[in-house]
Amino acid sequence: GDSVTQMEGPVTLSEEAFLTINCTYTATGYPSLFWYVQYPGEGLQLLLKATKADDKGSNKGFEATYRKETTSFHLEKGSVQVSDSAVYFCALNRYAAGNKLTFGGGTRVLVKP
């Protein structure tokens, strides 16, 4: 079945540091890929997405590129802020699977001033 693997946290960074969260997936066909963010005490918010190979999703300074050859969708941000402290989830869905989302385990990021 479909699966998503992402690096375990917590990841602790200083403000303005570079952030990378690795995400790889296993799925048949052509999934869409997503990054969601969950701030403390809140539900998930869609951060960015990519629907086909080589697409780059971007939002709020975050970027991720859909790499079909390496089945990866790594999240990056060049200069993090304290407000980026959250849990980040990589996910995929497939139309053939009813568009149900499959989530990775989540990566907690803590940015210190």
Residues at the contact surface with other proteins, assessed by CB under 8 A: 36, 42-46, 51, 89, 98-101, 103-106, 108
Q: State in angstroms the smallest separation of the CB of 16 from other proteins.
A: 27
CA–CA distance, 93 with 33 (Å, rounded to integer): 7
* Cβ-based neighbour number of residue 83 at 10 Å: 10
> In this structure, are residues 102 and 92 in contact, taking their beta carbons and an 8 Å threshold?
yes
CB nearer other proteins, residue 11 or residue 44: 44
Q: State in angstroms the smallest separation of the CB of 90 from other proteins.
A: 10
Q: Which helix (H) or strand (E) holds 75?
A: strand 75-77
For other proteins, the closer of residues 1 and 113 by Cβ is 1
CA separation for the pair 88, 74 (Å, rounded): 11
Cβ–Cβ under 8 Å, residues 76 and 18? yes
Least Å distance between CB 106 and other proteins? 5
Q: Which two tokens stand for residue 68?
A: 């079909």
| Closer Cβ to other proteins, 5 or 71, answer by number | 5
CB of 85 to other proteins, least distance (A): 15
